[in-house]
Structure 1
Amino acid sequence: MSNSAIRVRVRTAGLLTAAAALLVSVASPAEAAPVTLTSGHVDVLDVDYASGALTLDLRDETTGTAVDRAPADVTLNVPVAAKHTNVPSTAPWAFLGTGGTAWILPQSQTSGLLWAGWNTTDVPSGTFKDNKLTFSLTGVTGPAGFSIYTASGGSPTVLFDSGNGLPDTLAVNAGAHTHANWGFDAAGTYKVTFSVSGVLASTGQTVNTGAKTYTFQVTNS
């Protein structure tokens, strides 16, 4: 084989390799950059139903423009400004805090804190039996307890509480947009796992989003 033929063959192989690499880079989606959210509106549990699939992600509206994000790409910051040092240790508040202290993302919008909630407004009415979905808290890892509750007239209604065993479930209407208090009993990193399921009204089949894990960073300084 002549030297010129060898050079042509090597060059052709090199071009094919480069083309293959280009195709791989085009076909592979870019990984989303991790983000930390510190204040503003966020639907931690954002549920959608389309094309036969029930999905769960996080809707970030902290900049005023809604962006759907994968929970794995987001850290939700709970700063020292969320710390309360006068939490009662008796009923009905005994579920919350350690030694009278808890960090709370409040159900009412508060400057400098995340206003955390959930959203099922993108689930068409009538899709699910009784127009209901089931939210399930299936796992919590962290330094202490985690809870979600509402409060009215100084009395709480506990929706989820890792301190009394898991899983915890909550029936939620499709078409709802709700805010609640998100409580953390100590500073540290929490990994909180949720899933959402529903029974299709048309077939009786149960569909599930699968488990999604959310990260909260609770700080003491």
Structure 2
Amino acid sequence: MSIRILVAVLLAVPSPDGLSQSLSPDQALATGPAVLETGHADIGPRYRDGAWSIQIHDDATVPPVWRSPDDAVIRVRDAAAQAVPDDPAYAFLGAPAGTRVHVLPQTRQDGVVWLGWNTQDPGLLERAGRGVTMKLRGVRGPGQLTVFLQSGTLGAPQVLWSSRDAYPQALWVEKNTHTHANWVFGAPGVYLVALDVAAELADGSTETAGVTLRFAVGDAASADDARTAEIMLPAASPPPVPDDEFDLPLWWAGVAGMLLVAVLAGAGVRGAAVRRRAERARS
């Protein structure tokens, strides 16, 4: 397959077919291990029975079901491997032109899982205000992960998340939205992707839930390893100190305290010497 064809596959515009959908409130939560490697799947926040969670909507089964990300491993088959285009516009992928990478494409492709996200759960539509914030908290894997959108072959790529950048990385999604993007994995192996999703509710409150997505990239990657692996999230950065407020660190406070003691002690010694000289003068 030529580079020109590969670029067309990677950058194709998502067709309206398959993106227009509505979800039934009666769809069940399936339990038990599952490997999603073909068909349509969406990451989505749910509000059900008073509980807020992030689940995976599996549309490949009949009827469709929701799954826990702890049970579901997303398999990225070798059939999804493509070459990085010879175009400087894709330097953000962090790999030389011609490098083979695994891509879950923005458009549906036979034999490859079609992964997106939706904010169409009926419970969410009822409770949410304007939408949700999806926040990338961290990525563990043998290569770089990049998620980007492309509006046609002439539009510039829009990077949504990249494991090369600092965390967290926030993405605003309006409610009743269904979106697909390109997921690019730089090397085969097990990937863990930590996400937080926060919903602004109609009553002004906010609900937040965290989730770890599990990927087995390449035919040789172990789904069992992906299911049992763990991720260490980067520590949150300390909040900045306001301009109108300055707090000394604890060790500076200790130094300041010792300096104060030394100054007072010095003053006491000098005061005693002055008193002795005054007494000798009087005598």
Distance in 2, matches of 1:34 and 1:124, equals: 26
Give the secondary-structure state (helix, strand or coil) at the position aligned to 2:85. Answer: coil
CA contact (8 A) 2:132 2:172 kept: yes
Q: Which amino acid aligns with 1:165?
A: A
Give the secondary-structure state (helix, strand or coil) at the position aligned to 2:79. Answer: helix
CA contact (8 A) 2:76 2:219 kept: no
Equivalent runs, 1:62-101 vs 2, <5 Å: 62-88=60-86, 90=88, 92-96=89-93, 98-99=95-96, 100-101=99-100
Partner of 2:167: 166
CA contact (8 A) 1:85 1:102 kept: yes
Give the secondary-structure state (helix, strand or coil) at the position aligned to 1:164. Answer: coil
Which stretch shifts more, 74-83 or 154-163? 154-163
CA contact (8 A) 1:194 1:213 kept: yes
Distance in 1, matches of 2:128 and 2:73, equals: 31
CA contact (8 A) 1:41 1:115 kept: yes
Normalising by structure 2, we get a TM-score of 0.61
CA contact (8 A) 1:87 1:101 kept: no
Partner of 2:258: none
The structural deviation recorded for 1:88 is 3.7
Partner of 2:39: 40
Partner of 1:195: 196
Equivalent runs, 1:146-161 vs 2, <5 Å: 146-154=145-153, 155-161=156-162
Q: Which runs of 4+ in 1 moved over 6 A?
A: none
CA contact (8 A) 1:149 1:158 kept: yes
- What are the ranges of 5 or more consecutive residues in structure 1 without an aligned counterpart? 1-30
Pair 142,56 (structure 1): closer, same or farther in 2 beyond 3 Å: same
Pair 148,124 (structure 1): closer, same or farther in 2 beyond 3 Å: same
Higher helix share: 2
Higher strand share: 1
Partner of 1:205: 205
Q: Which amino acid aligns with 2:174?
A: N
Partner of 2:102: 103
Partner of 1:3: none
| Identity value in percent | 35
Q: Per chain length, whose mean CA-contact separation is higher, i.e. which structure has more relative contact order (CA < 8 Å, sep 6+)?
A: 1
The structural deviation recorded for 1:220 is 6.2
The count of residues paired between Structure 1 and Structure 2 equals: 186
Distance in 2, matches of 1:160 and 1:40, equals: 23
Pair 51,38 (structure 1): closer, same or farther in 2 beyond 3 Å: closer
The RMSD of aligned alpha carbons is: 2.1
Q: Which amino acid aligns with 1:85?
A: A
Q: Which amino acid aligns with 1:57?
A: Q
Give the secondary-structure state (helix, strand or coil) at the position aligned to 2:52. Answer: strand
